[in-house]
């Protein structure tokens, strides 16, 4: 929700070339409206946001193409993930909803648009998430070294890439990435993020609270599993805070949220990727120095690097992933990894929207 990530990508015989990447900030008013969407938000508000985001996404593509001087006819397709507003893959009738009307994107840009990537996987019995591991495999598999790819977005997820190509790739959402720290600092200091984790670093970890937070059933659940901002948010935090009697300073709570984020990532790696000691990090959380140093501290001897060392900007891996998934859809190839999402089979992901001109 911090920004629209727009990447122009060329796929040449298995090689991924990033032509251009831009972030277009999302106005604070819109971000606040998106953050306040819950399961009980009126349908009209969600529909208005759907249309508004569709226009913003189309504008982002138009601006990106303008920047590069590449014309719309040269682009095969737009892959648009959309903004997740609801994600409940374990409900009796599981669902995941991303908004940003793809009809508007196709119409305004004149480019075929692929969207709605998650629901085909859910229909096949999967979590609909995470979807990034399939692309991580294509991009970061190493024939001699086992690796973990760690994406720290709003939610954090890991992909475990065994060197032995016969061993299936696995991966899952570990829990909160930046989401709790972002929301807490926004609530207390009206800032969109805790730059470099400095505010968290000024506080003291509250172990009584950390214990309550870490006791959440999500962290004990075995994969396949996925989660979202509609679960890990300030309402969740409040319900944990009410279990603690003592008063705490806001910066101490921020420090505790940072530790929670780091610990749950580290625990997931130690439990599900034992012996793997190389970690490639992407997503905005890679810039949170205090967070990365806390992860480092808990994984001594590990090689922890940004995906930059593999030649890909860590901020745009997700955008590139959805360009790749759009290519899979256009080529009629499956995009999910059943071992990751829990789907019964491999399925082609996404729906195609034609500009109609």
Ligand X SMILES: Nc1ncnc2c1ncn2[C@@H]1O[C@H](COP(=O)(O)OP(=O)(O)O)[C@@H](O)[C@H]1O
What is the smallest separation between the CB atom of 126 and Mg ion, expressed in angstroms?
24
Q: Binders of ligand X among 309-348, rule CB under 6 A? A: none
Q: Is 85:99 a contact under the CB 8 Å cutoff?
A: yes
The answer to whether residue 2 forms part of the interface with ligand X (CB under 6 A) is yes
C-alpha to C-alpha distance for 332 and 292, rounded to whole angstroms: 38
Residue nearest to ligand X (CB): 284
Q: Closer to Mg ion at the Cβ: 82 or 334?
A: 82
* Chosen from ligand X, Mg ion, none, partner binding at 88 (C-beta under 5 to 8 Å by type): none
C-alpha to C-alpha distance for 290 and 131, rounded to whole angstroms: 27
Tokens of 5: 């990530």
* Whole-number Cα distances in Å, 132 to 148, 315, 335, 354: 13, 14, 9, 25
Residues that bind Mg ion (CB under 5 A): 2
The answer to whether residue 230 forms part of the interface with ligand X (CB under 6 A) is no
Q: List the strands of the sheet with 170-176, edge to edge.
A: 170-176, 155-161, 147-152, 278-282, 303-306
What is the smallest separation between the CB atom of 7 and Mg ion, expressed in angstroms?
12
* Chosen from ligand X, Mg ion, none, partner binding at 197 (C-beta under 5 to 8 Å by type): ligand X
Q: Closer to Mg ion at the Cβ: 2 or 196?
A: 2
Burial class for 306, CB neighbours closer than 10 Å (0-12, 13-18, 19+)? middle
* Chosen from Mg ion, ligand X, none, partner binding at 287 (C-beta under 5 to 8 Å by type): ligand X
What is the smallest separation between the CB atom of 3 and Mg ion, expressed in angstroms?
5
What is the smallest separation between the CB atom of 152 and Mg ion, expressed in angstroms?
11
Q: Is 14 left (phi over 0), alpha (psi -120 to 50) or beta?
A: left
Q: Closer to Mg ion at the Cβ: 178 or 256?
A: 178
Count of positions on this chain that bind ligand X (CB under 6 A)? 16
What is the smallest separation between the CB atom of 181 and ligand X, expressed in angstroms?
6
What mask, x for binding ligand X by CB under 6 A, covers residues 144 to 183? ---------xx-----------------------x---x-
What is the smallest separation between the CB atom of 143 and ligand X, expressed in angstroms?
28
CA proximity to 114, closest of 131, 127, 90: 131
C-alpha to C-alpha distance for 66 and 70, rounded to whole angstroms: 7
Q: Closer to ligand X at the Cβ: 6 or 106?
A: 6
Tokens of 329: 């859809």
C-alpha to C-alpha distance for 60 and 40, rounded to whole angstroms: 30
Q: How far apart are the first and last CA of the chain?
A: 32
* Chosen from Mg ion, ligand X, none, partner binding at 82 (C-beta under 5 to 8 Å by type): none
What mask, x for binding ligand X by CB under 6 A, covers residues 112 to 151? ----------------------------------------
Q: Closer to ligand X at the Cβ: 2 or 244?
A: 2
What mask, x for binding ligand X by CB under 6 A, covers residues 182 to 221? x----------xxxxx------------------------
Burial class for 129, CB neighbours closer than 10 Å (0-12, 13-18, 19+)? buried
Among 89, 126, 228, 284, binds ligand X (CB under 6 A): 284
* Chosen from Mg ion, ligand X, none, partner binding at 201 (C-beta under 5 to 8 Å by type): none
Question: The tokens 């989660």 sit on which residue?
Answer: 227
DSSP 163: S
Among 79, 283, 334, 342, binds ligand X (CB under 6 A): 283
Q: Closer to ligand X at the Cβ: 203 or 283?
A: 283
Among 159, 288, 336, 341, binds ligand X (CB under 6 A): 288
The beta strand positions in the chain, using DSSP E, are: 3-12, 15-25, 78-79, 83-88, 95-99, 113-115, 147-152, 155-161, 170-176, 278-282, 303-306, 351-353
Residues binding ligand X (CB under 6 A)? 1-2, 153-154, 178, 182, 193-197, 283-285, 287-288
């Amino acid at each position: 929700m911090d920004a629209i990530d727009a990447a122009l990508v060329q796929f040449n015989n298995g090689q991924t070339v990033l032509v251009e990447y831009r972030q277009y900030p999302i106005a604070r008013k819109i971000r606040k409206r998106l953050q306040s969407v819950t399961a009980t938000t009126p349908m009209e508000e969600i529909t208005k946001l759907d249309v508004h985001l569709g226009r913003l996404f189309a504008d982002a593509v138009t601006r990106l193409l303008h920047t590069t001087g590449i014309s719309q006819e040269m682009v095969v397709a737009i892959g648009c993930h959309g903004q997740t507003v609801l994600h409940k893959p374990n409900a009796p009738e599981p669902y995941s909803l991303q908004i940003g009307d793809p009809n508007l994107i196709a119409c305004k840009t004149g480019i075929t648009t692929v969207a709605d990537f998650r629901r085909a996987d859910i229909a096949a019995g999967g979590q609909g998430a995470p979807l990034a591991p399939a692309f991580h495999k294509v991009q970061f598999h190493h024939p001699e070294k086992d690796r973990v790819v760690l994406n720290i977005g709003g939610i954090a997820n890991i992909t475990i890439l065994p060197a032995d190509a016969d061993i299936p790739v696995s991966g899952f959402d570990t829990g909160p990435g930046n989401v709790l720290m972002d929301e807490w600092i926004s609530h207390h200091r009206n800032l969109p993020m805790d730059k470099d984790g400095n505010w968290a670093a000024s506080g003291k970890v509250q172990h009584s609270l950390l214990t309550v937070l870490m006791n959440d059933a999500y962290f004990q659940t075995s994969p396949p599993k996925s989660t979202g901002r509609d679960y890990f948010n300030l309402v969740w935090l409040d319900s944990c805070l009410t279990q603690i009697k003592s008063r705490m300073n806001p910066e101490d709570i921020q420090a505790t949220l940072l530790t929670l984020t780091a610990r749950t990532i580290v625990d997931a790696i130690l439990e599900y990727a034992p012996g793997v000691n190389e970690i490639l990090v992407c997503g905005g959380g890679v810039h949170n120095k205090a967070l990365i140093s806390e992860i480092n501290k808990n994984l001594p001897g590990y090689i922890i690097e940004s995906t930059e060392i593999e030649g890909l900007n860590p901020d745009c891996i997700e955008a590139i992933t959805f360009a790749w998934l759009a290519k899979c859809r256009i080529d009629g190839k499956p995009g999910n990894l059943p071992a990751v999402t829990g789907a019964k089979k491999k399925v082609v992901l996404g729906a195609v929207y034609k500009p109609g001109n």
